Amino acid sequence: DGGITQSPKYLFRKEGQNVTLSCEQNLNHDAMYWYRQDPGQGLRLIYYSQIVNDFQKGDIAEGYSVSREKKESFPLTVTSAQKNPTAFYLCASRRRTGERSPLHFGNGTRLTVT
């Protein structure tokens, strides 16, 4: 079955450390997204990518970085510059941007930084 795999499900880090969250999809989708979910707030866009080797900042990109070297992979690095990194992170994809098609989501990674 096609889908999006995020790993790990839970991640614990000390303050000051960078951490990379994995997102892999086998849906052959062009567009991939990273969202952050905090209690009481809607999902907020961190970065998105429309195609390999291209990505754009979302609304809350500060303190995060991404890469898109392969179509199926879109890892997110939470750097020590992110002031409040503890959150639930969701990766999503769709066939391509500019086209009305459903969003597919992974199961998320819950990051706790202490």
Partner 1 sequence: KNEVEQSPQNLTAQEGEFITINCSYSVGISALHWLQQHPGGGIVSLFMLSSGKKKHGRLIATINIQEKHSSLHITASHPRDSAVYICAVDLNTGNQFYFGTGTSLTVIP
Binding region for partner 1 (CB under 8 A): 35, 40-45, 48, 50, 56, 58, 88, 90, 92, 97-108, 110
Closest distance to partner 1 from the beta carbon of 102 (Å): 4
Closest distance to partner 1 from the beta carbon of 107 (Å): 4
47, two tokens? 């970065």
Amino acid at 25: Q
CA-based torsion, 74, 92, 48, 52: positive or negative: positive
* Cα–Cα dist 96/103, whole Å: 10
Closest distance to partner 1 from the beta carbon of 98 (Å): 3
* Cα–Cα dist 65/13, whole Å: 17
Q: Which is nearer to partner 1, 13 or 44 (CB)?
A: 44
Q: Which is nearer to partner 1, 8 or 81 (CB)?
A: 8
